[in-house]
Structure 1
Amino acid sequence: MRVAVLIARVLAASFAACAFASAAPAQAKSGELRVLSEGRRAPGLVARGQPWKPEALGIQLRGGAAIAIDELGAGDFLVRARVFVADRRRQGSALVLGESQLVLDAPKQLEWNGPLFASLGKPVAVDFAPNNVATVEVERVGEKLSLRVDSALVAEGRTGLGAVGRFGLVARDGELRFDRFEVRGALVPPAPEDRLAKIEAAIDSGIERGVEWLIDQQQRDGSWGNHQVVYPAGMTGLALYALQRCGVRADHPSIRRGYAYLDSIEPRETYGLSFALLAYGVDPPPERKKRMQQLLERLLSWQRDSGWGYPEALAGTRGFEGVHDKADLSCTQYAALALRACQSAGLDVPKEAWLRCIDAADAFLGPVERLNTTGATKGARQEAAGFRYLVEREPTGSMTAAGICVMKLARNGLADRLPQQPNDKSRRGIELGLAWLGSRFDVNADVGGDKAWHLYFLYGIERVGGLLEIDRIGASAWYEDGAEWLVKRQNGDGSWRAPEAGGDPAHVRQSESDTCFALLFLKRATRAARTVALDELLKAPRQSDADVKLRASGRGPVTVWIEGFAERVVAEHAGAGVRVVAVEYRSGDEVLARVGADADARWDGEPLATSLVFDRPGQRELVAVVHVRKADAGDAGTSVELRSQPIKLRVDGVLRPWMLEVAGERAQNLALATASSGSASSELQAAQPGAAVTDGWQWTRWLCARDDKQPTLTLEFKKAVRASELVLHPACTRYAELGRFDRVRTVQVRVNHDKKALEVQAPADELEPIRVPLGKGVAITKLEVRIAARDKGGAEAGTTGWTEIALYK
């Protein structure tokens, strides 16, 4: 019974967002019998889940519900429904009354659960009519509750007089038909509920944690790695766009590194180029618009009458072996978003490009269907149609959102240049798509779509709501529903990943894109994000009763100082005054800085300031520990510790010169253009070590076995490479991996058949590459790289290696 009660509660809570005020008849008095549905008409009900299906003699429910627009209040009531249940195997057909339900499909008996029916005892056997049609009644008079089937009393008991709440009929897994549903009692509109206010703090926290996680995934070269082989610019463009939309400043080291990488890439497919333009289009400085113009011209050259797909030049190349050669609505959607970014930046998007977007989206529109409506339209049939990924496929929720998006973007882009025929076509397409989406929208599922891309679907819903400036899609308050779904499903580390995302290579880093989509959804209705405006500090309250008043400013470096002491501390030291020996600025158990003072002198307001530099961006908690002489001690007296209240610092980290240098180096790496083979002293996993370190990607790596005392990797080039510098990229490539692997300290390199090895010390920064000067233009056919000294790591202790071995002129 507990499961059934829980189902009823969930339904009751979700139904609270469903009311259509325009469909409600005039409010009935408590003594009047009000007909909510009769035959095919249901003016007093609203559908939830799968839409109901009108039939000749009534309405069919399957996987959905028909819920009264108004709630059932306190006092006497009668609820009566004439229902038909063909299959009595407890498949979830019920009359729901607040947190209680009357089970309608139990075999040969009537079952119930929930507080309203608590006094009725065990289920009662019922002889249902041969045709399985029955009129069921629930009546409360005073504290007496009665259940009847076909006017015959089945059970009686006592119950409270409180409000019932939402009520209606539901068919979860089975099928339920009804041709009459009526009620008598106090009917009241559902009380408005500020759902957003209840989760606003969780939304802000979710955005903050998601931003931190995403920054920590950035790789050494400034890129993000999801699908990077196929879309070198795609994930990085999406991450830069999402981070900045969440309030991360343009001069943040992570953003500057990302743009440096993006500038070095020439996108060759629609997704990557579109996401790059979205990133470039965030408040672009004048010098960036030239790059945007070049990419815009490339994007327009790929447009077909049928939209955008994968450029034909990619057919059969690595990563695109099995990809279709047609235009699809997903590529077309992001291309249209990129066109808007260019137009918003002041670039000229041709009228013809927008008109072709409308025609292309219209071609993806599926067959028109007719939906039943309620209320004032009295059974009129509303037209609806979904959009498809390819014209030969079935409509899905995510692609319907995409089709609406493309048409609305084109309408906005054309503005007063929009001719009448495209105007009518796009308006009708949006109306059909929105009706289709509204009749099926469920935050838990992309109807007809791939469960692995659920976050992609939710971002599509956000674009529909944002572009059309609507708060509801069908009966759903789409933002509240989606925000609640996302807040509940954020991972402990701050990331998101679709519940059904697979573990295969195509999805192994999908958390990066899923987190971006989640952030873009959540950011829609939240205030300017102080929690992620990285120049802000979450300072301790001025009214803190801590012994020490600590203050800070800046975001990298951060200046910290002592502002004063609590009044009780000053009073306690009234004689000789507060005499400070030293102040320590700590984060956890780590002493970040220590500033000495003259302990023989009274403290007179000296700030005892220092500047703190944090290599890694994120949040740090800081406390000041001030050592002061005891109030009653002499000049040689002992000291005591006084502490401040902790404050949280939001820091950017430091942009070091090597970071921008590495971000733009990939295209000049001579090892990428030369065939090579590799061998290793050991491997943690069987692979091709030479291929892993000469493919140009930071997320592939060679790792030695844990028992390898002197890990060595040898590369042999089929053709001599003339280079002046060797650059070694250690296994740790992201902030999230710091301390994970053994840390390289000393490297020995032999070039060709040299007997003497070049020995180089690794930099202090674990992420920084190790640079080995070779001499001018050395012809290299063989490289031997040995790790001679290392420090023990954490989670992957015992293993170490390289993500890339690069050669430069």
Structure 2
Amino acid sequence: MRTILISGLLGLSTVGICLGIGGAPPTPEGSSDAVDAAIERGVDWLLAAQGIDGSWRTYAPHRRPAGVTALGVFTLLKCGLPAEHPAVRKGLAFVFAREPSGTYTASISLMVLAALGPEHPLAERADDLREYLLDNMEHAGWGYPSNSKGEDPAYSDNSNTQYALLALDAAVRLEGKVSQAEWADAGEALLGRQRSDGGWAYQARRDSTAAMTAASVASVQLCLNHILPKGKGKKVHGRLEEARALGLAWLAKHASVGENTMLGKADEDRTKWQLYWLYALERVGSFLEVSEVGELEWYQEGSKALLKEQEESGRWTAGYLAEVNTCFALLFLRQGSRHGAASTPRSRAARASGDAPLVVLAGDGHPKRLWIQAASDALAQHVAGDGAVECVEWLINGKAVARVNPEGDVARHPFALEHTFPGNGTYQVRAVMHLLDTHRRSAGELNSDEITLVVDEVFTGRDEQVLLDLGKSVLPIHDATITTSSTSRWTLPSAVADGLCACQWRAANDDLTPWVRIDFERAVRASSLKLAPAWQVGEAHDFLARPKEVEISLGKGRTVRVTLPDLGRAKHEIPFKKTSIKSLEVRVLSTWPGKGSKVVGLAEVELFQ
């Protein structure tokens, strides 16, 4: 068996042998180990909160189903997940399977495309989104296009406006055209809404708030970045500079990371929008490239507050939807408004203890790359005595998967293994180095500690099927009347037919045979039904009970009764003879027991032709 002497390949030192370098990836300025750990926990929670169809929960699934999902994808990209990550792929598919519905969704979708870059296949959608936003611009900015209420003659607000301008800036980075006149009109809208105290409010007739002032200062800066200070743009450019200075002065006087200062508002209103405010503050700091706003060291103080407020699960709540708040917190900590932040890869590389004879590292991405980073003095002594290394044996979950000989580019990644894992989950990895004496006989072994490796990058066949299902259900979710046998707290019957698997309905704890009935105004033809079970964020797939025996009533006495396998969160498909359906009832007759709760429910009911 061919062997190579370690002493011929590696440098020795009095503290051990360095077999490679597993350097940490570059991180945003001002970050720390505690911040990096908080980001990792937040990302893990966000991944766990994603529905199997790629969606995240929203307050308005029928009117704006994709807005929060677009924000979730944008956050994951800014936190370093690659476009190929299953969560990103599914989220992108969910967002772009439908037409934009409103300023927020269109804007964040365009920001997502800029984060992906011009080479991504979806980048061709950028022009349509840019035109949608420009077509919906009012003289006073942007608002909810379907909302006729608010200021006369058109509804608009500084929150919608800030996202539209972030999106138009993203469009320009994708080589889209936004004219000088359009930027000037946006600047005039911001100038017209600034209050006499120098701040901005949600709408002109309200009091100034920290969140809206920071958002508007950042929006003003975007306009300044694009308006040339000459010709017709010279006058508005100068006025915008004055407005920016007044806005910064307001923030210097009122800003506090602990609350969204809202003049004249109750304390609960101030804390409800705290994370929205911090993300707006991050944009001010990043766009203006300043470390202080007034005397406030915005990143240091904001990071301290966010680390303190992060829940054990990894999420942030602060009185609003946890999915949205967690995105805002992560974007602040990651300093996501810096254009280059998305190119910084996420690091969750596991590392074995430095006290073990061998130190093992695992890289990001999939397939996973495993290698020996360092070894103890025991190896140095063995090599000094003219010993050799036969191979390194890699074990995953206690089973040997490969033996790697010391050849190839060993000086860079010695004994490296590239391994494709069969699925997502948690794996235990260990390395064993087999030694040879001077006569090339076995001379014992050196072992690493086990490292716990979390794999979440595997795109499965079930994931692929979910993407194929998007937009194909014929169940008329906008014309459906839904009734249920019971409902648990914090869930809604309407969630079973809202087009999002992230929203869900659960039966009451004492409902032993729960059912859901869906009536349509007009009949639809279908030949199969798919059920997605309810699930608990942050828990194993078997935490809640899952449907086992179910009875499907298709109306007019037509009934299908089946026993479902335990597929965890995966969808179940129930085929039947193609028929016309105007009412549908799903009754759960028995369940697979949950390890944490006996409650059962459904995330989505779909019909397919």
**Structure 2 counterpart of 1:803:** 603
Q: Give the SS at the match of 1:334.
A: helix
CA change 1:567–1:276 in 2 (3 A) is same
- TM-score by length of structure 1 reads 0.60
- Residue number in structure 2 paired with 1:263: 96
Please list the CA deviations of residues 683-732 of structure 1 after superposition, one character each: whole Å capped at 9, or x if unmatched.
5569974x442232334433334455554444454543211221111112
Q: Does 1:352 align with 2:181?
A: yes
Alignment of 1:188-207 (within 5 A): 200-207=32-39
1:224 aligns with 2:56: yes
Q: Secondary structure at the match of 2:476?
A: helix
Distance change >3 Å, CA 536–CA 596, structure 1 → 2: closer
CA contact (8 A) 1:712 1:787 kept: yes
- Residue type at the aligned position of 1:390: Q
> Is 1:298 the counterpart of 2:135 in the alignment?
no
What residue ranges of structure 2 are gaps of 5+ in the alignment? 1-27, 264-268, 408-414, 435-443
CA shift for structure 1 position 550? 4.7
Could you tell me how far 1:563 is from its partner in structure 2?
10
Q: Hey, what's the Cα distance between the residues in 1 that align with 2:152 and 2:500?
A: 22
1:649 aligns with 2:457: no
Indicate the structure with greater strand content: 1
Deviations 1:403-445 (A, max 9, x none): 2222211111224666221111111111121122222322223
The answer to whether 1:448 aligns with 2:448 is no
User: Given the alignment, which residue of 307, 320, 333 partners 2:141?
Assistant: 307
The equivalent position to 1:414 in structure 2, one of 217, 222, 227, is 227
1:398 matched to 2:211? The reply is yes
The answer to whether structure 1 residue 774 and structure 2 residue 576 are counterparts is yes
The alignment of Structure 1 onto Structure 2 pairs a total of residues equal to 555
Q: Deviations over 1:288-307 (max 9, x none)?
A: 23311111111111111111
Structure 1: distance between partners of 2:153 and 2:450: 57
Q: Is the 8 A contact 2:71 2:108 kept in 1?
A: yes
**Match for 1:695: what amino acid?**
D
- Please name the residue that 2:316 is paired with: 496
Q: What TM-score results when the alignment is normalised by the length of structure 2? A: 0.78
Aligned CA-pair RMSD: 4.2
| AA of the residue aligned to 2:421 | V
Distance 2:187 2:229 in 1: 15
After superposition, residues 414-493 of structure 1 pair within 5 angstroms as 414-415=227-228, 419-448=233-262, 450-451=269-270, 452-493=272-313
Q: Check 1:463–1:651 CA distance in 2 against 1; reply closer, same or farther (3 A cut).
A: same
Q: 1:467 to 1:611 in 2, by over 3 A?
A: closer
Q: Which residue of 1 aligns with 2:157?
A: 328
The separation in 1 between residues aligned to 2:580 and 2:235, in whole angstroms, is 66
Calculate percent identity across the aligned residue pairs: 29
Instruction: Give me the whole-angstrom Cα distance separating, in 2, the residues matched to 1:554 and 1:440.
Output: 42
Structure having the larger proportion of residues in helix: 2
Aligned in 2, Cα 1:388/1:787: closer, same or farther, shift over 3 Å? closer
| Counterpart selection for 2:351 from 534, 539, 543 | 539
What amino acid is the match of 1:511? A
Displacement of 1:642: 7.9
Larger RCO of the pair (alpha carbons < 8 Å, separation 6+): 2
The code of the aligned residue for 2:352 comes to A
Aligned to 1:244: 77
Q: Distance in 2 between matches of 1:457 and 1:722?
A: 48
Query: Equivalent residues in 2 for 1:74-85 (5 A)?
Result: none
Provide closer, same or farther for how the CA distance between residues 756 and 436 of structure 1 changes in structure 2, counting only shifts above 3 A: closer
| Match of residue 785 from structure 1 | 586
Q: C-alpha distance in 2, partners of 1:699/1:323?
A: 37
Cα distance, 1:644 vs. partner?
2.2
Question: Is 1:743 equivalent to 2:546 in the alignment?
Answer: yes
Contact 1:726 1:805 in 2 (8 A): yes
Instruction: Assess, with a 3 A threshold, how the Cα gap between structure 1 residues 350 and 664 changes in structure 2: closer, same or farther.
Output: farther
Answer whether contact 1:678 1:688 (CA < 8 A) is retained.
Answer: no
Q: Which amino acid aligns with 1:539?
A: R
Tell me, yes or no, if structure 1 residue 518 matches structure 2 residue 347: no
**Structure 1, unpaired ranges of 5+:** 1-195, 369-384, 502-506, 598-602, 629-639
Trace 1:346-745 onto structure 2 (pairs within 5 A): 346-367=175-196, 385-415=198-228, 419-448=233-262, 450-451=269-270, 452-498=272-318, 501=319, 507=320, 510-524=321-335, 533-534=345-346, 537-540=349-352, 544-547=354-357, 550=360, 552=362, 555-558=365-368, 584-586=395-397, 593=399, 611=419, 613=421, 615-616=423-424, 620=426, 622-624=428-430, 644-649=448-453, 651-663=455-467, 665-673=469-477, 675-677=479-481, 684=488, 689=493, 691-717=494-520, 719-732=522-535, 736=539, 738-745=541-548
Output the CA distance in 2 between the equivalents of 1:645 and 1:528: 36
Asked whether the equivalents of residues 529 and 573 of structure 2 are also in contact (C-alpha less than 8 Å), the reply is yes
The amino acid that maps onto 2:53 is D
- 1:435 and 1:674 mapped to 2: Cα distance? 48
Contact 1:733/1:803, CA 8 A, preserved across alignment: no
Q: State the alpha-carbon separation in 1 of the partners of residues 166 and 36 from structure 2.
A: 26
Aligned residue type for 2:283: R
Q: Aligned pair 1:276/2:109, yes or no?
A: yes
Task: Give CA deviations for 1:601-644 in whole Å, capped at 9, x if unaligned.
Answer: xx987989794636447xx573428799xxxxxxxxxxx99852
Name the CA shift for 1:479/1:737 in 2 (closer, same or farther; >3 Å): same
Would the alpha carbon gap of residues 446 and 761 (structure 1) be closer, same or farther in structure 2, given more than 3 Å must change?
A: closer
What's the offset of the Cα at 1:565?
Answer: 8.9
SS at match of 2:227: helix
- How big is the shift at 1:555? 3.1
